[in-house]
């Protein structure tokens, strides 16, 4: 796994842990929502980067990563629609808390978003690990084909 990809997954893990610590310590709902959302964002960004789509993320990375996640992982059935729903809800709540003067959120919804972030990461991380292994196997097979071709042709330079 590339260093940027590892870093983004680490950010996702740290963010979800920070959300739990903040929640357990009686921290603000805004902080819990922000950390939970960022865990999902970094997880989804890891998928985008792994697929080589980082160049598609420009002016509005949050909306663009969300759109790519939906298009390439939800619409294709890689992940269930519920993952998109919780990601969208966290995205909307984070924007509300960051850019509006007042809002309210139930304790139940805070826990749902935080739990959703944990589930989100727990599905994406193993998926990325499998994809990485498959990429390594594909590279090895391509290398072996080149070697076999050179060996068969007698030009082993």
Burial class (CB in 10 A: 0-12, 13-18, 19+), 77: exposed
**Non-local CB neighbours of 63 within 8 Å, separated by 6+ positions:** none
Q: Please, what's the b/e burial string for 126-147 (b: 16 or more CB within 10 A of its CB; e: otherwise)?
A: ebbeeeeeeeeeeeeeeeeeee
pLDDT above 60 for 23: yes
Rounded distance, CA 53 to CA 135, Å? Answer: 16
pTM of the model: 0.83
Q: What is the mean pLDDT of the chain?
A: 88
pLDDT digits (tens, 9 = 90+) for 74-106: 999 999 999 999 999 999 999 988 887 766 788
Where in the chain are the domains? Answer: 3-125
Residue 140 pLDDT level (bands cut at 50, 70, 90): confident
Mean pLDDT across 1-24: 92
For domain 3-125, the CATH architecture is: Up-down Bundle (1.20)
Residue 156 pLDDT level (bands cut at 50, 70, 90): low
Q: How many Cβ atoms from other residues are within 10 Å of residue 69's Cβ? A: 26
Rounded distance, CA 62 to CA 42, Å? Answer: 10
Rounded distance, CA 77 to CA 156, Å? Answer: 45
* Cα torsion angle, 129, 135, 140, 141, sign: positive
Element (H, E) at 20: helix 3-24
Mean pLDDT across 128-145: 78
Residue among 49, 42, 50, 52 nearest 10 (CA): 42
What three-state secondary structure class fits 37? Answer: helix
């Amino acid at each position: 796994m590339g260093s940027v990809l590892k870093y983004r997954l680490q950010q996702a893990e740290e963010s979800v842990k920070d959300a739990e610590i903040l929640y357990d310590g009686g921290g603000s709902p805004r902080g819990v929502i922000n950390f939970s959302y960022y865990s999902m964002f970094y997880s989804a960004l890891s998928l985008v980067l792994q697929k080589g789509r980082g160049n598609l993320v420009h002016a509005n990375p949050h909306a663009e990563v969300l759109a790519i996640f939906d298009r390439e992982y939800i619409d294709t059935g890689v992940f269930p629609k519920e993952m998109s729903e919780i990601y969208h809800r966290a995205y909307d709540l984070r924007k509300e808390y960051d850019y509006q003067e007042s809002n309210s959120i139930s304790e139940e919804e805070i826990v749902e978003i935080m739990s959703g972030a944990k589930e989100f990461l727990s599905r994406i991380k193993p998926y990325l690990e499998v994809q990485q292994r498959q990429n390594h196997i594909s590279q090895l097979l391509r290398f072996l084909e080149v070697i076999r071709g050179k060996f068969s042709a007698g030009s082993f330079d």
